[in-house]
Amino acid sequence: MANIDYSQINVIKEKIKILNSSSNIIHVTMNNKRKSVHNAVSKILSIHDRFICIESKVNDYIEKFTINYIDLLIGNFSIKELLI
């Protein structure tokens, strides 16, 4: 895996802040073998220095996720609106 520098994380965080200022609704895909979520309509709950908290309706119930910006960079999660 290539080195990831802090500026890449800052770029993602700033893009998420811009998305959140216009609409706190995003579409999230979790690329994880233990749990699969594809293009789930999600609400941004909070934006932090290293992660964001979201809420999604998955299988007819509300589930909360914490997404580390690193996970977005390495592909464990994707946000459709970021086009990463």
46 contacts: CB under 8 Å, gap ≥ 6: 52, 53
Residue 46 has what pLDDT?
97
Residue 84 has pLDDT above 90, yes or no: no
Q: What is the dihedral of CA 61, 29, 40, 20, to 10 degrees?
A: 110
Residue 67 has what pLDDT?
95
For the stretch 27-76, pLDDT in tens is 999 887 677 788 999 999 999 999 999 999 888 889 998 999 999 998 89
| Nearest alpha carbon to residue 21 among 47, 53, 48, 54 | 47
